[in-house]
Chains A and B, each alone.
Chain A
């Protein structure tokens, strides 16, 4: 598993560099964007036990760079945080008992994407797809009777996305769906161990507001 992951990550980085280097200077263009949407965790049972739901709002932003008509690269971050409480679960499938000790978890993925656009003639709509990799930091903090327990960890992540962009001019909008995977990030202790869930990834449905520095 690990050598393959290393190869994917290295490959994605090499590809993005190659595309930037090969792009004709006149076709390059920067854009900044803000993004917000809904994140649904793959570790659904664990999240439902602790947070009562497996998802919630997420927001972030980033910088993208267009290369010619079709390719783009982007770097972005998102943040997802949720409050819940510590629980007891004897085993997967058994009832969840809430214990009243507050818990807050925060996910912060930072990632890069290499994408390909499909311009539709003169239409203002541009579908696109992308893949990428990054790093997701996870912080969990809970307080039991005056003692605060904090856990911090960071793991590599991978994602693929599809979306559609709308607009001409400097201001554009996009809607996209992103599937992320952050393997071996949890499952060491807590309810994620009980449920055998180790992936901190999930599905993100989000909207983007893009401000292009170059009019398209």
Chain B
């Protein structure tokens, strides 16, 4: 079994504004110029001032009018409270100066700008992570609306069966900086047979970061289910290779894990695959499904009409990759077992025109350092492949479990029934190229009313 990695492209974002995109075959430099920050909107209505007159003059219309005239107010509207007026200023007059001028008038109790308020419940959530703006993939999924609905719960854990995760300081390994605050539960390293499933490559950390990289901490990039927990399970070695035996063991480990008498692992992500099939892996998947665990896997990166194994298992959600145009990425395998598609990226394109290649950017160990046997240097790097698409769906599954949909078949149905049909498919229909289509997280999470359908 091999790591599904169609094109390795890394981008060091550590020293913005320049982002270096290095392809396996050739080196491309892309100048990533951060957009100018938008100045905050005014916190008060321009041209308006609230004026409160003293009680002694509030009922004296003549004195009030004279005072407003003295304050060079163009017009004023009386409020419900006696002596309170909303004054309209002469065009071009400064609110600050008018407040100062009106406050100085003896009849005036106080004057203040007419501040703007809005509903306190956010209908979107925009994180402040430094390089979030490069995450076209999250925008494609409507992540900000999704996060207003559900950010994930720490008691819902996604097991990442991969090359490990840079989740702890142990020996030569260091915890990736943007996992500060991310919840981890103990995992296992089935390659080296120990309890420290650290990442001696980079793939697993990248995949895990898509699910739950620390978010809204002003650092790095965002994860899609950043409120959920992660379990590192290493089943692929430093070259990205693994075996059915270890994959089956990893699935069973995640399925059997107990904390306080319960298993918090509700989703298993398998960004891996290969030809053939395995009874050992099939039985492990059956067990996971029966225990209420959603299993998600990448469809494969051969660009052909055959879904890789174990994604082809009927109890596994096979996920293909699309680019920023919602077109099938050229590497993405397709076929009748394909469940849905998610952003897998295409590092050779820039469809959002931000002058940065449309890879999926997440934190991971710096590949150059890893080549030298060092696991203490990290980058926010871009990769593409169905390995990158699958964790978006695993994260969505974790969000759905956090929202209350606890059965794997129901989670799958909530994702598939609400997907955006692509490739000419009718609403609710599927095709082999895109499966049920591109996942629509907010629609899946919003559920159904009596007669009102999901949020679209």
Which residues does A use to contact B, with CB under 8 Å? 43, 46-47, 50, 84, 86-91, 94-95, 97-101, 103, 105, 138, 140, 142, 144-147, 149, 151, 153, 186-194
Contact = CB atoms under 8 A, between A and B. Distances in A.
Contact of A144 (B405, B446, B450): B446
Contacts, number: 107
Contacts of A140: 449-452
Contact of B455 (A100, A144, A186): A144
Contact of B450 (A47, A97, A100, A147): A47
B123 A88 contact: no
Given A99-B403, A101-B446, A151-B449, 8 more contacts: A84-B450, A86-B448, A88-B410, A90-B413, A95-B410, A98-B404, A149-B452, A190-B449
Given A89-B448, A189-B452, A97 B409 contact: no
Given A99-B403, A144-B149, A145-B123, A87 B452 contact: no
Residue of B149, B449, B455 contacting most chain A CB atoms (<10 Å):
B449
Nearest to A187: B451
Nearest to B418: A88
A27 B402 CA distance: 67
A149 B455 contact: yes
Contact of A149 (B122, B445, B449): B449
A90 B451 contact: no
Residue of A91, A99, A151, A191 contacting most chain B CB atoms (<10 Å):
A99
Given A97-B404, A98-B404, A189 B451 contact: yes
Nearest to A94: B410
16 contacts: A46-B450, A46-B451, A86-B447, A87-B447, A88-B448, A90-B409, A90-B413, A94-B409, A94-B413, A95-B410, A101-B447, A105-B450, A140-B451, A149-B449, A186-B451, A191-B450
B453 interface: yes
A91 B113 CA distance: 55
Nearest to B122: A146
Contacts of B417: 90
Given A146-B121, A146-B122, A147-B455, A97 B406 contact: yes
Contacts of B449: 50, 86, 103, 105, 140, 142, 149, 151, 189-191
Residue of B145, B405, B409, B447 contacting most chain A CB atoms (<10 Å):
B447
Closest 7 CB pairs of A and B: A189-B453, A90-B413, A146-B123, A146-B121, A86-B447, A186-B451, A145-B148
Contacts of A189: 448-449, 451-453
Contact of A99 (B122, B413, B447, B453): B447
